Amino acid sequence: MADSPELHRGATWVLIGLAVVTFVVLRRIDAPYGRHQRASWGPTMPARLGWIVMETPAVLVFAGIYFQGQHRFELVPLILLGMWQFHYVQRTYVFPFRMRGEGKTMPIVVCALAFVFQLLNSYINARWISHFGSYGGEWLSDPRLWIGAALFLGGWLINFKADAMLIALRKPGEQGYKIPRGWLYERISCPNYLGEMLVWIGWAVATWSLAGFGFALYTIANIGPRALANHRWYRETFEDYPEQRKAVIPYLL
C-alpha cells in the first residue's frame, strides 16, 4: 500500500478536526436519527439497509487495509484486529436485524456521510495497528493493552445490554417510544451511548496512539450531543420522566 507516515498523520489530524466540527454542529442541530429525523434531510432509505451500508467499511475495508501491513501476523496487532472486528461485525451484520419498528428509514445523506467517515477511520486505525504502530511482544505485558481491552469489553457489554433493553420495549410490529426502566436506565437516559464511548476510550488506551485517541474523541463528540438531545426529548415528551436521571454519565451529565 503506497502511503507514508506523514500522510497517515495528516489523515489522523483530519479526523480530530472532524471531531471538533461535529461537536459544534451537533450542539446546534440534532442528528437526524430515529426520533429526531426530519423530512428536510431529503430522500430516505430503509434504516436496516442504511446501517449495513454505512458500517460495512469498518469490517471489510478495515480488514483489507490491515492485511497489507508489515506487522499483520504479529500477535498484538491480531488481538487489536479481533477487538475491532468483534465490535463491528455485531454492529454491522447483527444489530440491524435486532432492530424493531418496521418501516423505519434514515436519510440517504446520513448514510453516505457515515460511509465516507468509516472509510477514513478504517484507514487510520487499521494502518496504524498493522503497519505504522509498533507492538512487539513486550506489549503483551503492558497494562495499557489489558486496561484498554477491559474498558473495551465492559463498554461493549453495556452497549449490547442497553440496546437489548430498548429493543425489548417494543413488541413485534409496535411503533412509538416508551420510558426505559431498570439497570443503568435508572441513572441515565442513554447507557447505550455510555457503553459506546467506553468501547473507544478502551481502544485508545489499548492502542496508545493518536489514531485511537482521534476515534475516541470523535465518538464522544458525535454521540455525546446525541445523548443530551435524547435526554431532552424524553423530558419534553414524558411528563412522568424520572427527574433524577442524567443523560449519559451517572450523577454528572
Establish if 219 belongs to a structural domain. Answer: yes
3-class DSSP state for residue 105?
strand
Establish if 244 belongs to a structural domain. Answer: no
User: What's the DSSP call for residue 139?
Assistant: G
pLDDT at 227: 96
Nearest CA-CA partner of 128 in 198, 59, 213, 56: 213
Between the CA of residue 105 and those of 59, 83, 114, 148, what are the distances in Å?
23, 30, 15, 35
Measured in Å, how far apart are the chain's first and last C-alpha atoms? 43
Establish if 251 belongs to a structural domain. Answer: no
Establish if 247 belongs to a structural domain. Answer: no
Q: How many domains does the chain have?
A: 1
Q: Pick the residue with more confidence: 101 or 242?
A: 242
Average pLDDT over residues 36-55: 88
* Domain extent at residue 182: 5-237
Q: Which amino acid is at 237?
A: T
Establish if 87 belongs to a structural domain. Answer: yes
56: alpha, beta or left? (left if phi > 0; alpha if psi -120 to 50): alpha
203-236 residue pLDDT tens: 999 999 999 999 999 999 999 999 999 999 999 9
Is-contact 33 77, C-beta < 8 A?
no
Tell me the C-alpha distance between 221 and 76, whole Å: 28
3-class DSSP state for residue 188?
strand
Indicate the pLDDT class of residue 99, thresholds 50, 70 and 90.
confident
3-class DSSP state for residue 141?
helix
Establish if 245 belongs to a structural domain. Answer: no
Q: Which amino acid is at 247?
A: A
Establish if 161 belongs to a structural domain. Answer: yes
Q: What percent of the chain has pLDDT over 70?
A: 98
Tell me the C-alpha distance between 192 and 181, whole Å: 13
Tell me the C-alpha distance between 137 and 217, whole Å: 28
62-81 residue pLDDT tens: 999 999 999 999 999 999 99
Nearest CA-CA partner of 227 in 252, 187, 194: 194
Instruction: Please say if the pLDDT value at position 39 is more than 90.
Output: no
Instruction: Please say if the pLDDT value at position 11 is more than 80.
Output: yes
169-197 residue pLDDT tens: 988 777 788 999 999 999 999 999 999 99
pLDDT at 174: 76
Is-contact 140 81, C-beta < 8 A?
no
Q: What is the mean pLDDT of the chain?
A: 94
Establish if 242 belongs to a structural domain. Answer: no
Q: Which of 30-44, 116-130, 172-186 has the lowest mean pLDDT?
A: 30-44
Q: Tell if the pTM clears 0.85, that is, is over it.
A: yes
Between the CA of residue 140 and those of 2, 67, 76, 177, what are the distances in Å?
29, 21, 7, 45
pLDDT at 101: 65
